[in-house]
Amino acid sequence: MKALRYFGPRDIRCESMDDPRLESDRDAIIKVDRCGICGSDLHIYHGQGFSEDIGFCVGHEAVGEVVETGRGVHGLRVGDKVMISAAVGCGACPSCLAGNVANCEVGGGACYGLSARLQGCQAEAVRVPAADINARKIPEGLSLDQALMLTDSLATAWFGCRNADIAPGRSVAIVGLGPIGLMAVECAKLMGASLIYGIDPVASRRNLAAELGAVPLDPLTALDTVKEATQGRMVDSVVEAVGSDPAIHLALRLARRRGAVSVIGVNQDKRFDFPMGRAFGMGLTFRIGTCSVPEEWPALIPLIQSGRLRPERFISHTMALTEGEAAYALFDARADGALKMVLQP
Amino acid sequence: MKALRYFGPRDIRCESMDDPRLESDRDAIIKVDRCGICGSDLHIYHGQGFSEDIGFCVGHEAVGEVVETGRGVHGLRVGDKVMISAAVGCGACPSCLAGNVANCEVGGGACYGLSARLQGCQAEAVRVPAADINARKIPEGLSLDQALMLTDSLATAWFGCRNADIAPGRSVAIVGLGPIGLMAVECAKLMGASLIYGIDPVASRRNLAAELGAVPLDPLTALDTVKEATQGRMVDSVVEAVGSDPAIHLALRLARRRGAVSVIGVNQDKRFDFPMGRAFGMGLTFRIGTCSVPEEWPALIPLIQSGRLRPERFISHTMALTEGEAAYALFDARADGALKMVLQP
Amino acid sequence: MKALRYFGPRDIRCESMDDPRLESDRDAIIKVDRCGICGSDLHIYHGQGFSEDIGFCVGHEAVGEVVETGRGVHGLRVGDKVMISAAVGCGACPSCLAGNVANCEVGGGACYGLSARLQGCQAEAVRVPAADINARKIPEGLSLDQALMLTDSLATAWFGCRNADIAPGRSVAIVGLGPIGLMAVECAKLMGASLIYGIDPVASRRNLAAELGAVPLDPLTALDTVKEATQGRMVDSVVEAVGSDPAIHLALRLARRRGAVSVIGVNQDKRFDFPMGRAFGMGLTFRIGTCSVPEEWPALIPLIQSGRLRPERFISHTMALTEGEAAYALFDARADGALKMVLQP
Amino acid sequence: MKALRYFGPRDIRCESMDDPRLESDRDAIIKVDRCGICGSDLHIYHGQGFSEDIGFCVGHEAVGEVVETGRGVHGLRVGDKVMISAAVGCGACPSCLAGNVANCEVGGGACYGLSARLQGCQAEAVRVPAADINARKIPEGLSLDQALMLTDSLATAWFGCRNADIAPGRSVAIVGLGPIGLMAVECAKLMGASLIYGIDPVASRRNLAAELGAVPLDPLTALDTVKEATQGRMVDSVVEAVGSDPAIHLALRLARRRGAVSVIGVNQDKRFDFPMGRAFGMGLTFRIGTCSVPEEWPALIPLIQSGRLRPERFISHTMALTEGEAAYALFDARADGALKMVLQP
Tens of pLDDT, residue by residue over C166-194, are 999 999 999 999 999 999 999 999 999 99
Residues of C with CB under 8 A from a CB of B: 100, 102-103, 105, 108-109, 233, 245, 248, 257-258, 263, 266-290
**Pairing mode, if any, of strands B12-16 and B2-6?**
antiparallel
Tell me whether residues C288 and B283 touch, CB distance under 8 A. yes
Chain A adjacent subunits, 3+ CB pairs under 8 A: B, C, D
Tell me whether residues D74 and B294 touch, CB distance under 8 A. no
Looking at residue A268, its pLDDT comes to 85
Do D231 and D317 reside in the same domain of the chain? no
Q: Rounded to an integer, what distance in angstroms lies between the CA atom of residue A259 and that of residue A256?
A: 5
Q: Over chain C, what is the mean pLDDT?
A: 94
Residue A48's pLDDT band (cuts 50, 70, 90): confident
Tens of pLDDT, residue by residue over A164-210, are 999 999 999 999 999 999 999 999 999 999 999 999 999 999 999 99
Contacts of A170 in chain B (CB under 8 A): 299, 302
The alpha-carbon gap from C18 to the nearest alpha carbon of chain B, in Å, equals 31
Residue B235 scores a pLDDT above 70? yes
Tell me whether residues B303 and A192 touch, CB distance under 8 A. yes
Looking at residue D104, its pLDDT comes to 84
Residue of C nearest to D194 (CA): C303
Looking at residue B109, its pLDDT comes to 63
Residue C319 scores a pLDDT above 90? yes
Residue D108's pLDDT band (cuts 50, 70, 90): low
Q: Is residue A295 part of a domain?
A: no
Q: Over chain B, what is the mean pLDDT?
A: 94
Q: Is residue A293 part of a domain?
A: no
Q: Over chain D, what is the mean pLDDT?
A: 94
Q: Is A319 helix (H, G, I), strand (E, B) or coil?
A: strand
Tens of pLDDT, residue by residue over C244-290, are 999 999 999 999 989 999 999 988 888 999 999 999 989 999 999 99
Contacts of D135 in chain B (CB under 8 A): none
The alpha-carbon gap from C276 to the nearest alpha carbon of chain B, in Å, equals 5
Do B7 and B120 reside in the same domain of the chain? yes
Residue B103's pLDDT band (cuts 50, 70, 90): confident
Looking at residue B269, its pLDDT comes to 86
The alpha-carbon gap from A65 to the nearest alpha carbon of chain D, in Å, equals 31
Q: Residue A71: which domain range?
A: 2-138+310-344
User: CA C226 from chain center: how many Å?
Assistant: 27
Do C315 and C236 reside in the same domain of the chain? no
Contacts of B306 in chain A (CB under 8 A): 194-195
Residue B105's pLDDT band (cuts 50, 70, 90): confident
Looking at residue A96, its pLDDT comes to 78
Tell me whether residues A272 and D273 touch, CB distance under 8 A. yes
Tell me whether residues D195 and C169 touch, CB distance under 8 A. no
Looking at residue A335, its pLDDT comes to 85
Do D231 and D284 reside in the same domain of the chain? yes
Which among D111, D242, D257, D292 is the top mutation candidate for probing chain A, defined by the most A β-carbons within 10 Å of its own β-carbon?
D257
Q: Is residue A300 part of a domain?
A: no
Q: Rounded to an integer, what distance in angstroms lies between the CA atom of residue A60 and that of residue A46?
A: 17
The alpha-carbon gap from B71 to the nearest alpha carbon of chain D, in Å, equals 7
Looking at residue C171, its pLDDT comes to 98
Looking at residue B336, its pLDDT comes to 86
Do A163 and A219 reside in the same domain of the chain? yes
Tell me whether residues B92 and D75 touch, CB distance under 8 A. yes
Q: Is residue D27 part of a domain?
A: yes
Q: Is residue A324 part of a domain?
A: yes
Tell me whether residues B169 and A299 touch, CB distance under 8 A. yes
Q: Is residue D104 part of a domain?
A: yes
Looking at residue B100, its pLDDT comes to 76
Residue of A nearest to D230 (CA): A105
Q: Is residue B302 part of a domain?
A: no
Tens of pLDDT, residue by residue over B182-213, are 999 999 999 999 999 999 999 999 999 999 99
Q: Over chain A, what is the mean pLDDT?
A: 94
Contacts of A195 in chain B (CB under 8 A): 302, 306
The alpha-carbon gap from C106 to the nearest alpha carbon of chain A, in Å, equals 13
Q: What is the rounded average pLDDT of the residues B215-229?
A: 98
Residue of A263 and C97 predicted with greater confidence: A263
Residue D3's pLDDT band (cuts 50, 70, 90): very high
The alpha-carbon gap from A133 to the nearest alpha carbon of chain C, in Å, equals 8
- Single out the residue of D181, D286, D115 nearest to residue A275, CA to CA: D286
Contacts of B301 in chain A (CB under 8 A): 169
Do B181 and B268 reside in the same domain of the chain? yes
Looking at residue C285, its pLDDT comes to 98
Kindly report which listed range (A154-158, C135-139, C294-298, D105-109) carries the lowest average pLDDT score: D105-109
Chain D adjacent subunits, 3+ CB pairs under 8 A: A, B, C
Looking at residue B153, its pLDDT comes to 96
Do B132 and B163 reside in the same domain of the chain? no
Q: Rounded to an integer, what distance in angstroms lies between the CA atom of residue D249 and that of residue D273?
A: 9
Tens of pLDDT, residue by residue over B285-314, are 999 999 999 999 999 999 999 999 999 999
Looking at residue C110, its pLDDT comes to 76
Residue D101's pLDDT band (cuts 50, 70, 90): confident
Looking at residue B140, its pLDDT comes to 94
| CB-closest option in D25, D97, D298 to B99 | D97
Do A57 and A124 reside in the same domain of the chain? yes
Contacts of A103 in chain D (CB under 8 A): 257-258, 283
Residue B93 scores a pLDDT above 80? no
Do D325 and D266 reside in the same domain of the chain? no
Tell me whether residues C98 and A99 touch, CB distance under 8 A. yes
Question: What are the backbone dihedrals phi and psi of residue A89, each rounded to the nearest 5 degrees, phi first?
Answer: -115, 165
Sheet (strand B195-199) strand order = B215-217, B195-199, B171-175, B235-240, B255-263, B285-288, C285-288, C255-263, C235-240, C171-175, C195-199, C215-217
The alpha-carbon gap from B19 to the nearest alpha carbon of chain D, in Å, equals 25
Domain harbouring C194, CATH code? 3.40.50.720
Looking at residue A108, its pLDDT comes to 59
CA neighbours within 13 Å on the CB side: how many for D295? Answer: 22
Tens of pLDDT, residue by residue over B131-143, are 988 999 999 999 9
Chain B adjacent subunits, 3+ CB pairs under 8 A: A, C, D
Tell me whether residues D92 and B74 touch, CB distance under 8 A. yes
Looking at residue C92, its pLDDT comes to 75
Looking at residue C109, its pLDDT comes to 63
Tell me whether residues A98 and C25 touch, CB distance under 8 A. no
Number of domains in chain B: 2
Looking at residue A50, its pLDDT comes to 81
In three state form, how does the secondary structure of chain D look?
CEEEEECCCCCEEEEECCCCCCCCCCCEEEEEEEEEECCCHHHHHCCCCCCCCCCCECCCEEEEEEEEECCCCCCCCCCCEEEECCEECCCCCHHHHCCCHHHCCCCCCEECCCCCCCCCCCECEEEECCHHHHEEECCCCCCHHHHHHHCCHHHHHHHHHHHCCCCCCCEEEEECCCHHHHHHHHHHHHCCCCEEEEECCCHHHHHHHHHCCCEEECHHHHHHHHHHHCCCCCEEEEEECCCCHHHHHHHHHHEEEEEEEEECCCCCCCCEEECHHHHHHHCCEEEECCCCHHHHHHHHHHHHHCCCCCHHHHEEEEEEHHHHHHHHHHHHCCHHHCCEEEEEC
Do C78 and C162 reside in the same domain of the chain? no
Do A127 and A20 reside in the same domain of the chain? yes
Q: Is C165 helix (H, G, I), strand (E, B) or coil?
A: coil
Domain harbouring A93, CATH code? 3.90.180.10
Q: DSSP labels for B4-35?
A: EEE-STT-EEEEE-PPP---STT-EEEEEEEE
Residue B22's pLDDT band (cuts 50, 70, 90): very high
Tell me whether residues A74 and C92 touch, CB distance under 8 A. yes
Q: Is residue D230 part of a domain?
A: yes
Q: What is the rounded average pLDDT of the residues A325-329?
A: 96
Looking at residue C103, its pLDDT comes to 76
Do C248 and C164 reside in the same domain of the chain? yes
Contacts of C298 in chain A (CB under 8 A): 94, 98
Looking at residue A110, its pLDDT comes to 76
- CB-neighbour burial class of residue D204 (10 A; exposed 0-12, middle 13-18, buried 19+): exposed
Contacts of C258 in chain D (CB under 8 A): none
| CB-closest option in B72, B75, B99 to D98 | B99
